[in-house]
Structure 1
Amino acid sequence: MKINLSLSLVCLTGLLSACSSNHITRITADTPVAKLLEDGRYGNLYPGDKTYPVTCQENCYPPHPDVQCETSAEHCQYIGAQTPPGLNSGFTVRWLGHASFVIQAPDGQQILLDPVSKQFDWPVDWAADWFADTHREPGLWLGGEQLAKTSAVLYSHLHYDHFNKADIAEIGNQAEYFVGLGSGDYFDQGGYKINEMDWYASKSLGELTIHSVPAHHFNGRIWVPFLYDDNEKALWSAWLLEYQGKTLFFAGDTGYSAHFNDIHQRFGDIDICLIPIASYHHEEHSKWYRYVHTTPEDALTAAAELNCKVMIPWGYGNASWGMGDLSSHSALLRLLAMYPRLNSEVPLLILNEGDEVAL
């Protein structure tokens, strides 16, 4: 009812064009890449059992002097001194929380990545209120004037914590939307311009090129979105923004697999990497959680394979819901613990929700 009501209010205010049919364009790569299985579902490029290069075995969550918390690993802020690398990429990155980012491209275009104003889309937001161990305060959100400046909205997949129909109605139909193959039918009708993209398909907005690239995850829009075989009839994706040779990579929700090496082979060293480090820990289903989510050490391995010039981790935080995590900042503590153990040379840039950095 919440979504239908919001759209009805749009119509009642006179913006009847917002209730018109959507415009869906299907963009494929030169050679189809996404794996469409016999039953009409998509699959990952590298399915099957995984062997991970590194796994933390002990003392994985030690306190860190640069992470200041109200209670143990909960309600924290990163307070360490940082000097952003001088990449001169022209990209500005603002983290809203969980997987949501606002990207300012070098030409001034505003790009939203997985924008979600609350923790979940309806009706999962209502159901989640009943589970105190998963619920935290929602992340930051943009005002109407800033939303109106949006040129493009990129969604990695359709899960309720990454794709919110009410937010789409608020963003409006002036922006272009970029999603995986088969995802356009999940939008409410509102005159939206939707680009459905295969992996390694591309589209340019001026001098900015948006590339869809693989992720190792799954998809679906049912009430329990974390069952592996729930739907899979719409493709999940990562995204790469490219402007005059400078690149920004958003991994989306993903597990570790050889697809990171594939992306590096196609695009070379990546300037800015936004890679998740959370939602992997669950006592009963830890193997499955890690299969579709990167641990901090998996994220560092992926960043090395991409040869990232800077890695910005995400997924932890005061506004990230407690799905497969010990606490709001346990994943960050594990990242900071594993970084020297792996002798990682990838520069890290740690953000708190709301932080913005020009790179």
Structure 2
Amino acid sequence: MKHPIQILLVGTITLLTGCSTANHVNQIIQPQSKVFKGDDGRYVNQYSGEKTYPLTCTENCYQPRPELQCETDQPAERCKYIGPKPTLALNSGFKVKWLGHASFQVTTDNGQQFLFDPVTAQFDWPVDLAFRLDSGFYRNLPAKLTEQELTHANAIMYSHVHYDHFNKQDIADIGVNTPFYVPLGLGDHFPNDGYQINEMAWYSKQQVGDTTIHSVPAHHFSNRIWVPFLYEDWAKASWNGWVLESKGKKLFFAGDTGYSAHFADIKQQLGDIDICLLPIASYHHPEDANWYRYVHMTPEDALTAAQDLGCKVMIPWGYGNASWKMGDISSHSALVRLLNMKEQMGSTMPILVLNEGDAISL
């Protein structure tokens, strides 16, 4: 006969492990794929090392803009874009809805639905608790997708494992019936509940119905453990951008990234991009501005990247009332700087500025 304590221990272990279901992880590394790792086996950027930048705003970066209706001008806070929309005739078949921060819903003309970095909750615990104490990082919750939209997507793409791009509560809401596409190594961070996970190396591709999903490089980093000097998980998962290609038209989601030659490489591999969803925030921090810009883009970096990619239209993201500031001067400072730098650079490329929750067919 078993001792009561043994019975209790067995019952507890069964309770903790009995409900878990192994995930189905498929690693996709094709002949044309590229994988970059250091000597320690951790992932690295293709263009590592010291960087120079084509242009840096030094004057009149944050002058108030007539296209923005803000509660305060300097810094610009709680703004709404009220300016004109560019005239576009892309006939791409893509409908783009910005959910806030880095989260997008993209629908094709035949009804396929894709989600990029869907994060509608706050940070996962325990980081969530820490950031509640710092209102500069915490955000107003964006409008959530309906249960039908979440659970009936054709594919979910995550760019990397950082808390503001990968949230386990949202994964649970999506459920196990939708396939996930993620960078190499990121599958280890999913809860074991029977998820369908495809880990894709840079320049690998997969067909989902009429749409081809291309995994492309980003210039960033990954870690999940936010404890000083504890880097056990540093760069053990990679970081990706994504391109959706449907009927010859291409939409690019950059994920978090700094500026580097990888943008020109993507164009060389895939050709001009019709719609570019590019980050413009998290480049400024008074204590470590070099590092922030190394792994994120200033607005002028994003404009240069759009030129490198041959973008027919650029949709910026990362700013807004339902976005984390993550070191920016204010929630809308990046958008103000983008509009000013577009003029200073003489850029003729159309920029389509969305307010959070806006959707547009292109």
1:159 aligns to 2:162 (yes or no):
yes
What's the counterpart of residue 107 of structure 1?
A: 110
What's the counterpart of residue 8 of structure 2?
A: none
Q: TM-score under structure 2 normalisation?
A: 0.92
- Deviation at 1:260? 0.2
Conserved 8 A contact 1:91-1:358: yes
What's the counterpart of residue 221 of structure 1?
A: 224
1:81 aligns to 2:90 (yes or no):
no
Instruction: Specify whether residues 82 and 225 from structure 1 end up closer, same or farther in structure 2 by C-alpha distance, changes over 3 A only.
Output: farther
> Deviations 1:93-116 (Å, cap 9, x if unpaired)?
000000000010232111110000
1:358 aligns to 2:361 (yes or no):
yes
What's the counterpart of residue 45 of structure 1?
A: 46
- Deviation at 1:81? 1.8
What's the counterpart of residue 308 of structure 1?
A: 311
What's the counterpart of residue 140 of structure 2?
A: 137
> Deviations 1:174-224 (Å, cap 9, x if unpaired)?
111000011111100111110000000000011100000000000011125
> Deviations 1:286-306 (Å, cap 9, x if unpaired)?
010000000000000000111
2:196 counterpart (193, 196, 212) = 193
1:93 aligns to 2:93 (yes or no):
no
Instruction: Specify whether residues 76 and 337 from structure 1 end up closer, same or farther in structure 2 by C-alpha distance, changes over 3 A only.
Output: same
Where has structure 1 moved over 4 Å in runs of 4 or more? 224-230
Conserved 8 A contact 1:18-1:172: no
Q: Secondary structure at the match of 1:36?
A: coil
Q: Secondary structure at the match of 1:42?
A: coil
What amino acid does structure 1 have at the position aligned with 2:310? N
What amino acid does structure 2 have at the position aligned with 1:192? Y
Conserved 8 A contact 2:26-2:199: yes
How many Å separate the matches in 2 of 1:74 and 1:227? 35
Instruction: Specify whether residues 98 and 39 from structure 1 end up closer, same or farther in structure 2 by C-alpha distance, changes over 3 A only.
Output: same
Decide which structure has the larger Cα Rg and report it. Answer: 2
Conserved 8 A contact 2:182-2:200: yes
How many Å separate the matches in 2 of 1:18 and 1:355? 39
Q: Secondary structure at the match of 1:262?
A: helix
What's the counterpart of residue 340 of structure 2?
A: 337
Conserved 8 A contact 1:217-1:236: yes
Q: How does 1:130-279 map to 2 (within 5 A)?
A: 130-224=133-227, 231-279=234-282
Conserved 8 A contact 1:217-1:293: yes
What's the counterpart of residue 128 of structure 1?
A: 131
What's the counterpart of residue 29 of structure 2?
A: 28
> Deviations 1:154-173 (Å, cap 9, x if unpaired)?
00000000000111010001
What's the counterpart of residue 65 of structure 1?
A: 66
How many Å separate the matches in 2 of 1:225 and 1:183? 22
| Runs of 5+ unmatched residues, structure 1 | 1-11
Q: Secondary structure at the match of 1:43?
A: coil
What amino acid does structure 1 have at the position aligned with 2:24? H
What amino acid does structure 2 have at the position aligned with 1:118? A
Aligned residues: 345
| Runs of 5+ unmatched residues, structure 2 | 1-14
What amino acid does structure 1 have at the position aligned with 2:65? H
Larger deviation, residues 24-33 vs 74-83? 24-33
How many Å separate the matches in 2 of 1:32 and 1:271? 23
2:119 counterpart (116, 119, 124) = 116
Conserved 8 A contact 1:29-1:199: no
How many Å separate the matches in 1 of 2:179 and 2:240? 17
Conserved 8 A contact 2:86-2:351: no
- Deviation at 1:148? 1.9
How many Å separate the matches in 2 of 1:61 and 1:119? 28
How many Å separate the matches in 1 of 2:133 and 2:51? 34
Q: TM-score under structure 1 normalisation?
A: 0.92
Instruction: Specify whether residues 41 and 91 from structure 1 end up closer, same or farther in structure 2 by C-alpha distance, changes over 3 A only.
Output: same
The RMSD of aligned alpha carbons is 2.0
Instruction: Specify whether residues 140 and 245 from structure 1 end up closer, same or farther in structure 2 by C-alpha distance, changes over 3 A only.
Output: same
How many Å separate the matches in 2 of 1:245 and 1:304? 20
What's the counterpart of residue 298 of structure 1?
A: 301
> Deviations 1:217-243 (Å, cap 9, x if unpaired)?
000111259999961011100000001
How many Å separate the matches in 2 of 1:144 and 1:165? 16
What's the counterpart of residue 9 of structure 1?
A: none
> Deviations 1:293-347 (Å, cap 9, x if unpaired)?
0000000000011110100000011111121211111000000000011111211
Instruction: Specify whether residues 115 and 225 from structure 1 end up closer, same or farther in structure 2 by C-alpha distance, changes over 3 A only.
Output: farther
Q: Secondary structure at the match of 1:54?
A: coil
